[in-house]
Chains A and B, each alone.
Chain A
């Protein structure tokens, strides 16, 4: 195992090279793409959750000055190929279609696509389209969607059950579940949505005489987008090119190619025109895939000392009408990971994915994170039920490092993690014991409600599922010695241009400034997994390492030939290839690069010209990372307002490439957890009408709601070459239960309980009224 810990570049908080352009307004987003003759699109969307389309009258819209086309299902759907965003990670089910045909299945479903000279004109035309829909009762309440007599979201399927996984309950588990100390709770996590700062969007150019389709898209995954656009339009994949330059956030929402992008591509192909569609914020809120929306009944069986004997989780995820990509089926991971970092011999589960007439579910930073939410909230409930402090409960049940590797009761192998160390570090930083004393004093003397909460988890950034586990890097040394690295990634805030350049500079022994990362363009990079699933450091990082190893070996071979030295005696440092121990005997990296390209007669006999390599990395099935979140809150008893006092994260992502970026990623996830727990709530009424369609009602956390986040680091290298682990999603996984537990801890002072989020004044005041 080789690691680059404490290298010249790896491990350093190098400032992000992306930031100067992003922070000065010089980023290039999809809406910055302006092409000659480009036309603008908008969608007419359903304002009914479920119903039959009686009439669509487009005549007045088509007659409006500046309108090029008004397309309905009849115009586009018969020409559409497979609409699956990916063929690799999809669940069978929802019959996908470009435009609603015959019926509508959620508010926001596209019915008509308008193409016009400007977005203004397109929206004027949209106002002129008359859509008549006979509305039917909609399926909104996921907990009753499987009841008898409930309408069926997708009549073709005959059921609202999209997917189900059931583990049998063993006799041993059954026995402990019938024991003396059984805690059972139902927890509900409300629907919220990723809300990238840059909404989705696409520009598609189709030139019939050439037969090429060229798209610019706000995407995390240009290669899968290319495949999807080829399938839907029928343009062969080698004639499709997808580019994504700067992407203003994705959080999973842009990982697979959604319906609207495919529909616009199909329309561009049909019309032979260049089309732009930029999603507006209202569309993003109502019709870009939603997330969370889970409910589970959880059971813990404990011995008399609070040790976990067995668990059962019965989980339902709301898949919406048209889930995207791997979700609407990712619920399985909720059950598989439910026992997390705790010792437990017995577990079983049932997890169901259920259709409703709502916006489809999609990936959102830790798509299965409800396993941590449900478990960590259960831990506090169980500890309270057993009269134990939640920290003590965790200390008693956490898997000790000495007992690793540990096989989870669901069969997953857990190793190279440090849940116990991060638990202790977080408790130490936040001053757990001192806070407990202060909490008692404030309540006794002033009646104030403060609380402390923990969220402990292990996160499997997985290489199990193709194509998520592999990446290909092309490392190309230019004749002047500078290096261009092509990756199939689609960065949307991760700082990949910085971190991957750190890795390559380290591996080649050259200067960081001499390495450039190219990504986000299917034409100039090899097929890759895109950016998501906390995979870049491990998977792209190690593909870079593998390619660098080849390049490095060749450079050394050339230098050995030039110096008449043995390759084994040479090393590369500071862009010089020198005989180890005799730095005066050296040849410059730039000289080797020049000779490799421009003085090829000096190369060793038979050596191929040039200096570049393509290499892949296939990740192991799991690269576990872990963290412990700890936070303290105060509740205003009179108003129900929750304030976060302190927030601490102790994390272990193995070897950090760039600690500043690691902390930035953690912070981003925590802020989303704060938003998701206290503010963000996508609300439907009983008929499926969305009630939170602007930022006036869908509330994001801002600087005034977010505390300073404090960090602790534990480093347990993963067994992959760089020793890194996935960490991009974790901040959003550990934070919701930590905040929930802190609020629950404060409410327990007055005997009040909570079982659902968001923790709004309504929820808090309701709890105090009901219980106290």
Chain B
């Protein structure tokens, strides 16, 4: 469990990071919190000739409000999402989701952008991003910046629409209206494990978001269920709709049918909670 040799880079600007990515292409990988990448390297499940450590890039750290959007820069630690009252006020779902990620030691080191860019289908942030309609901001070597919706960003297991020389620099979470309700629910074998199934959801007047995780190769947006929810369907009906076309993976932790059953139950519970939250907020 020792990684293969690699060259280590510690750039200090986004420009330098993109330059290194452009220079080394597929042989380079961005190192942020390292909570997924480092074990994979140690197990030699993956190897890269170049690791580009972005922890010293000041411009990748911190968060702020831009009009109706919470902009979280990519290298901001997960613990900030968990603890900062401004996050809970702007995007309550982020604050609710964060304690479900691993353990506090992991969240002290893990980053928001790292989790999104790693795109593990069972992780929480990608589903939160999809449920809320977030956008991901990517920088490329020439200085150009493009934004992708979360729906378009997540392509498959550990795969995103980012080009090899692009760097995820920020996630832009829309601040939903005051009269909104949010909930995230998951079942994991133990606290802190990747979810067997989970769901993040949000509701406000005229808009609903439901994204399941752990049940597909990407976060699974349940559009029919969103529509049913907006149309006034009950939680059980919304849940039934959300899992109708699910085709979850099977592994040593749960069969596909177990995941589907759990997912249906969680959607029902989350939708109920979010509605209650909306009622209280209103």
Contact = CB atoms under 8 A, between A and B. Distances in A.
Nearest to B5: A124
Interface string A530-554: 0000000000000000000000000
A592 B103 CA distance: 58
Given A697-B252, A697-B253, A704-B192, A120 B2 contact: yes
Contacts of A699: 189-190, 193
Contact of A761 (B44, B187, B191): B187
B255 A762 contact: yes
B262 interface: yes
A282 B1 contact: yes
A641 B192 CA distance: 15
A691 B252 contact: yes
A278 B39 CA distance: 18
A599 interface: no
Contact of A639 (B4, B43, B44, B187): B187
A281 B253 contact: no
A640 B193 contact: no
B242 to A, nearest CB: 15
Q: Which of B2, B5, B187, B266 has the most CB of A within 10 A?
A: B2
**Chain B: interface secondary structure?**
loop
B193 A761 contact: no
Nearest to A761: B258
Interface in B245-275: 251-255, 257-258, 261-262, 265-266
Interface range for A: 20 to 34
Contacts of A282: 1, 43
A134 interface: no
A683 B1 contact: no
Interface string B1-34: 1111100000000000000000000000000000
Interface range for B: 20 to 34
A704 B191 contact: yes
B196 interface: yes
B265 A638 contact: yes
Contact of A760 (B194, B254, B265): B254
A79 B192 CA distance: 49
Contact of A702 (B39, B190, B257, B262): B190
A141 B47 CA distance: 35
Contact of B190 (A123, A692, A705, A765): A705
A119 interface: yes
B252 to A, nearest CB: 5
Contacts of B3: 120
B82 to A, nearest CB: 17
Nearest to B197: A639
A127 B261 CA distance: 42
Interface in A640-688: 640-641, 679, 681, 683
Contacts of B265: 638-639
Nearest to B1: A280
Interface string B144-155: 000000000000
Interface in A263-301: 280-282
Contacts of A119: 2
A701 interface: yes
Interface of B: 1-5, 39, 43-44, 187, 189-194, 196, 251-255, 257-258, 261-262, 265-266
Q: Which 6 A-B pairs have the closest CB atoms?
A: A638-B265, A704-B191, A280-B1, A120-B2, A683-B252, A123-B2
23 contacts: A120-B2, A120-B3, A123-B2, A123-B4, A124-B5, A282-B1, A638-B262, A638-B265, A639-B265, A640-B262, A679-B190, A681-B252, A694-B43, A696-B193, A699-B190, A701-B190, A702-B190, A702-B192, A760-B254, A761-B187, A761-B189, A761-B262, A762-B258
Given A638-B261, A691-B252, A760-B189, 16 more contacts: A280-B1, A281-B1, A639-B262, A639-B266, A640-B258, A679-B189, A681-B252, A694-B39, A697-B252, A701-B190, A702-B191, A705-B190, A761-B187, A761-B196, A761-B254, A761-B258
